Amino acid sequence: MHVTTADLWDLAPGRVLTWHAEVSGPAPGSGEVVPLSVNQRHHLAAAAGGEPSVWLAGAFEVDGPVDAEALAGAVADLLARHDTLQTAAAVVDGAPVGRRVDPARVGWRCREVAHPANLEETRALVQAVLDAGCAPFTYPAFTPVAVSRPGRSTIVLGLDHLHADACSVAVVVDELHERYVARRDGRPPAPARPAARFTEVAADGTSPVPDDDPRLAAWLAFLERRGNRLPTFPLPLGLPPGERLPQATRVGPLLDREDTAVLRAAAVGRGVSPFALALAAFAGAVGDLGGPAELPLLLPVSTRRTDAERHALGWFTSTVPLEVRAGDDPVAVGRDLRAAVGLAAIPLEQVLAALPAPLVRERADVFMVSWLDYTRLPGAAEARARNAHHVSAPTLADDVQLWLSATPDGVALRARYPDVPLAHSTVAELTGAWRSRLRSGPAGRVSPRRTAP
């Protein structure tokens, strides 16, 4: 899986096709009320407040020109299988509300948008289609797009963040590819694994814990040490307080296949995860550039626990705090990381309600580092042959957010930060220092080869 953003997408030109949903019967906002998760509610509140649309897209390639009818049928299959896609969202009396749309009422009509002449025009056009079709208060808040070519075509399904997390993108690529090819070839699709119903997971929520639960105390202590402030990136970005700018994105390999294999072996030898080694190296790299000895940050962690949840679409993610000390042994980081992941069981609303003073947000974004091992997700074995892509919408930024993607080709980094010269140079320097430490630092001597700057 290649993780990138729409403005960096290597998307060759062709006939750009879109599919428009036609919903029969009552308006989508009139169905039965369905529960929304805390992530969905916060996302909708931000959108209602004017925040730009945040969408994710799964993209893959197929042989030959696109069969419009087969793709419409495959998208209909996906809609019928995953209940989050059946949710229409609105804000009523200041509160986010979800209502169910019967998938049998949704049909799909294909039209050709244009035939751009080059890569830049193609990706700009596809991004514009996804920006318009993946808005959270439209239904559906997801849209199929394709770039049809005589030899090999690209199929895309964009989804507003309301319906998907990063793991969902892998599920989309795997299932939509299988169902499209089966319909195109006139054969039944392979049997699908049972998928959890995300609206039921959202309805259950995360149960509150007793006030004396040590995990709740750990969350509160993390915030209280910082005056109830969320962590911010500690190195200079050149952005005045309170200002947000269009995001810049840096995408590229952090470790190649050989170095990643050594990293994984080093992690096994120390009884920790590869992510623990990556975090230890990251804290050291930040310290090398003048950052603090104790580095606080936030981690998105998956809440998928069952095989049915692993094959479901939905926003199965929570956020947990972690503090990494630059001189820590990776074993200590691994211990702290395991404890931090355990905090995902604490409802974030309970954490906020228990604070002795209101939470302080110095920046709109949160400083976070994410790790996702795509080799463990559905469709991993076929991802390279399908040229699978996870594509995100570029929006605005005022902090640094980092995503590590582990694939059979190595570990790749996607960095999101404000588009100002100092932020560019800081992130570039940090990436080089991080790579150097990963290859010769906490993981052991990963590679004797000289590290590129």
Q: In Å, what is the CA distance from 36 to each residue of 78, 89, 141?
A: 20, 9, 15
Q: What interhelical angle do 330-342 and 257-270 show, nearest 10?
A: 80
What token pair was written down for 234? Answer: 């500690």
The pLDDT of residue 447 is above 50: no
Residue 226: exposure state from Cβ atoms within 10 A (0-12, 13-18, ≥19) = middle
Output phi, psi for 199, to 5 deg. Answer: -65, -30
User: Residue 115: helix, strand or coil by DSSP?
Assistant: coil
Helix (H) or strand (E) run with residue 386 in it: helix 383-386
> What percentage of the chain has pLDDT greater than the value 70?
97
Is residue 418 within 8 A of residue 247, CB to CB? The reply is yes
Confidence of residue 453 (pLDDT cuts 50, 70, 90): very low
Confidence of residue 207 (pLDDT cuts 50, 70, 90): confident
Distance CA 284, CA 430 (A): 10
The pLDDT of residue 249 is above 60: yes
pLDDT at 441: 59
Q: In Å, what is the CA distance from 164 to each residue of 63, 96, 160, 168, 336?
A: 27, 17, 7, 5, 28
**Domains, the chain, ordered by start:** 2-202 (3.30.559.10), 208-440 (3.30.559.30)
The pLDDT of residue 449 is above 70: no
Q: Which amino acid is at 259?
A: D
Is residue 348 within 8 A of residue 222, CB to CB? The reply is no
What token pair was written down for 217? Answer: 């105390």
What b/e string do you get for 120-149 counting C-beta neighbours within 10 Å, with b at 16 or more?
eebbbbbbebbbebbbbbbbbbbbbbbbbb
